[in-house]
């Protein structure tokens, strides 16, 4: 039975890991919502994995969402989950797992825990303990629901942030890591760094995590830390990566409660159903290795000139400024800090420049850009829009014939909790925690069916 700390929405999980002898380098693959416009990446993953046991067989890479027979892939995923369980490929380990992810000379620390979906609400205006930090794209949930509904196990790529400037939650675990039992320690595929996980088997360390989170959850401490008015509902856990996966888990949980035959069955679900919780990695917002990266936009099969359409959308207060190089565009966009105009880079096969919008009504350039893009896509100004990480990706894809890349600046991570507490969720796809190769890999699992 999982140990539960109800007031914190926290559970101590029983984590499933591959049994000894399985090649973890082939087992772990990157989050399904990465490289969505780069099928060559996923082909390389498939070649590397071959017939070896791998989470590649247990997930649905979103690059394939438009394929002709999605139900066939979903059936294969479910069958693979059941086969892996039946064949004894997993071993169960109770307890928190301390995670160290090393890449490019930096080490990011995290903690595998379960969060209570009763305390998560991704809807606009939510004041729950666990909240979305960006707008949830509802049409991205149904395909994931089809996979999770009836699934045997869950495999998270979810990262949830805590605002812990003094590092009281994870700091003691990091300091004690050399005496914690190692669960896994290996190189991730395709240049994505190294990961090491250790079981938190010391009850005193577990109690310390609970005590530190309890302190962060005190309303007066939250208000002082975030600079918000007294009485502002506490935001304890803010979504970092994987909000749509957590929203999927929430959707499944709400459906399970709706199907309950009566009060007794509903009470039993609330008390013991594994669907009530979701496995996630907690990461401190103030971790030195955690960097916020912008999420850029790429339009494919563009039928209307983007700069002209923007001028129509924001008449009298927008313009396009051509620049001599892509680097000059990036420097100009990245250098902006507030001011009376927002700058967004535009990259096409013809060159690069800056879209400038005066008197913006949103706090961030992405908030100014997204309503225009929504209207542009509604008017069929392009066939498809994709959200990509990294300047190289937006430049490479944006310069393809018929495409256009929109380059955005990063937001300061220190603004996150205050902004969400006061203003609600940010515009969707506002930020990313690192670039694509730094994203969380599927590795740990939890039994849910």
Burial of 269 (0-12, 13-18, 19+ CB in 10 A): middle
Based on the fold, state whether residues 124 and 271 are members of the same structural domain: yes
Based on the fold, state whether residues 235 and 272 are members of the same structural domain: yes
Share of the chain above pLDDT 70, in %: 100
* Residue 307 belongs to domain with CATH number: 3.30.1760.10
* Tally of structural domains, the chain: 2
**Minimal CA–CA distance to 238: which of 396, 84, 430, 13?**
430
Which of the 8 DSSP states describes residue 94?
E
**136 has a pLDDT exceeding 80:** no
Based on the fold, state whether residues 401 and 370 are members of the same structural domain: yes
**CA-based diameter of the chain, in Å?**
69
Mean pLDDT over 14-39 rounds to 96
Question: Which range marks the domain in which residue 396 is found?
Answer: 292-433
Contact status, residue 32 vs residue 60, Cβ threshold 8 Å: yes
Look at residue 1 in the predicted model and tell me its pLDDT: 75
How would residue 433 be classed by pLDDT, with cut points 50, 70 and 90? Answer: confident
How would residue 149 be classed by pLDDT, with cut points 50, 70 and 90? Answer: confident
Report the C-alpha gap between 29 and 31 in whole angstroms.
7
Question: In this predicted model, what pLDDT tens digit does every residue of 67-79 receive, in sequence order?
Answer: 888 899 999 999 9
Q: Rg of the chain's alpha carbons, rounded to an integer?
A: 22
Based on the fold, state whether residues 271 and 410 are members of the same structural domain: no
Report the C-alpha gap between 311 and 315 in whole angstroms.
5
Question: In this predicted model, what pLDDT tens digit does every residue of 294-319 receive, in sequence order?
Answer: 999 999 999 999 999 999 999 999 99
**432 has a pLDDT exceeding 90:** no
Look at residue 215 in the predicted model and tell me its pLDDT: 98
Cβ neighbours of residue 117 closer than 8 Å, sequence gap 6 or more: 246, 249, 250, 253, 275, 276, 277, 278
**Minimal CA–CA distance to 283: which of 445, 104, 440, 155?**
440
Based on the fold, state whether residues 104 and 178 are members of the same structural domain: yes
How would residue 337 be classed by pLDDT, with cut points 50, 70 and 90? Answer: confident
Look at residue 119 in the predicted model and tell me its pLDDT: 98
Contact status, residue 189 vs residue 25, Cβ threshold 8 Å: yes
Based on the fold, state whether residues 353 and 422 are members of the same structural domain: yes
Mean pLDDT over 167-186 rounds to 98
Based on the fold, state whether residues 365 and 236 are members of the same structural domain: no
Based on the fold, state whether residues 429 and 439 are members of the same structural domain: no
Based on the fold, state whether residues 257 and 363 are members of the same structural domain: no
Mean pLDDT over 235-248 rounds to 94
Question: In this predicted model, what pLDDT tens digit does every residue of 197-232 receive, in sequence order?
Answer: 999 999 999 999 999 999 999 999 999 999 999 999
**425 has a pLDDT exceeding 90:** no
Q: Determine how β-strand 277-284 pairs with β-strand 159-162.
A: parallel
Question: In this predicted model, what pLDDT tens digit does every residue of 317-335 receive, in sequence order?
Answer: 999 999 989 999 999 999 9
Look at residue 37 in the predicted model and tell me its pLDDT: 87
Question: In this predicted model, what pLDDT tens digit does every residue of 5-22 receive, in sequence order?
Answer: 999 999 999 999 999 999
Look at residue 134 in the predicted model and tell me its pLDDT: 86
Instruction: Decide which of 337 and 132 is more confident.
Output: 132
**99 has a pLDDT exceeding 90:** yes
Distances (CA, A) of 86 to 150, 163, 447: 16, 40, 12
Which of the 8 DSSP states describes residue 227?
T
Based on the fold, state whether residues 18 and 63 are members of the same structural domain: yes
Look at residue 75 in the predicted model and tell me its pLDDT: 92
Based on the fold, state whether residues 8 and 137 are members of the same structural domain: yes
Based on the fold, state whether residues 36 and 124 are members of the same structural domain: yes
How would residue 80 be classed by pLDDT, with cut points 50, 70 and 90? Answer: very high
Mean pLDDT over 382-400 rounds to 94
Q: Which residues of 33-43 are buried (b: 16+ CB within 10 A; e: fewer)?
A: bbbbbbeebbe
Look at residue 319 in the predicted model and tell me its pLDDT: 96
**Tokens 């666990």 -> residue:** 130
Distances (CA, A) of 428 to 62, 338, 370: 17, 20, 8
At 447, list the tokens.
């039994």
Report the C-alpha gap between 280 and 112 in whole angstroms.
6
Contact status, residue 402 vs residue 301, Cβ threshold 8 Å: yes
Mean pLDDT over 345-350 rounds to 97
């Amino acid at each position: 039975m999982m140990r539960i700390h109800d007031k914190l929405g926290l559970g101590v999980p029983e984590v499933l890991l591959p049994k000894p002898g399985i090649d973890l380098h082939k087992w772990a693959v990157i989050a399904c919502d990465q490289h969505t416009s780069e099928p060559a990446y996923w082909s390389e993953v498939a070649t590397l994995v071959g017939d070896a046991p791998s989470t590649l067989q247990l997930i649905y890479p979103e690059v394939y969402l438009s394929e002709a027979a999605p139900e066939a892939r979903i059936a294969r995923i479910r069958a693979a989950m059941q086969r892996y369980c039946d064949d004894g490929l997993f071993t169960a380990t109770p307890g928190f797992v301390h995670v160290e992810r090393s890449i490019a000379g930096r080490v990011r620390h995290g903690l595998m825990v379960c969060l209570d979906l009763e305390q998560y609400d991704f809807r606009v205006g939510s004041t729950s303990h666990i909240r979305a930090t960006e707008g949830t794209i509802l049409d991205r949930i149904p395909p994931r629901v089809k996979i999770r509904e009836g699934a045997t196990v869950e495999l998270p790529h979810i990262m949830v942030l805590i605002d812990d400037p003094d590092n009281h939650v994870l700091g003691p675990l990091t300091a004690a890591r050399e005496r914690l039992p190692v669960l896994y320690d290996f190189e991730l595929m395709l240049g994505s760094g190294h990961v090491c996980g250790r079981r938190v088997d010391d009850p005193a360390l577990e109690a310390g995590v609970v005590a530190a989170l309890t302190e962060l959850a005190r309303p007066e401490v939250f208000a002082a830390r975030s600079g918000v008015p007294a009485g502002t509902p506490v935001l304890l856990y803010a979504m970092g990566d994987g909000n749509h996966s957590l929203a999927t888990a929430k959707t499944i949980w709400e459906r399970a409660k709706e199907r309950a035959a009566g009060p007794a069955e509903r009470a039993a679900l609330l008390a013991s159903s594994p669907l009530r919780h979701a496995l996630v990695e907690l990461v401190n917002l103030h971790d030195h290795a955690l960097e916020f990266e912008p999420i850029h936009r790429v339009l494919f099969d563009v039928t209307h000139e983007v700069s002209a359409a923007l001028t129509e959308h924001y008449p009298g207060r927008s313009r396009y400024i051509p620049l001599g190089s892509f680097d000059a565009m990036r420097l100009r966009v990245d250098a902006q800090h507030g001011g009376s105009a927002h700058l967004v880079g535009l990259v096409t096969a013809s060159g690069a420049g800056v879209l400038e919008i005066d008197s913006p009504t949103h706090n961030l350039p992405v908030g100014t850009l997204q309503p225009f893009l929504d209207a542009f896509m509604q008017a069929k100004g392009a066939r498809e829009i994709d959200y990509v990480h990294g300047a190289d990706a937006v430049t490479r894809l944006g310069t393809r014939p018929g495409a256009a890349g929109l380059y955005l600046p990063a937001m300061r991570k220190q603004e996150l909790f205050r902004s969400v507490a006061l203003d609600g969720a940010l515009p969707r796809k506002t930020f990313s925690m690192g670039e694509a190769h730094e994203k969380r890999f599927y590795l740990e699992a939890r039994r849910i069916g």
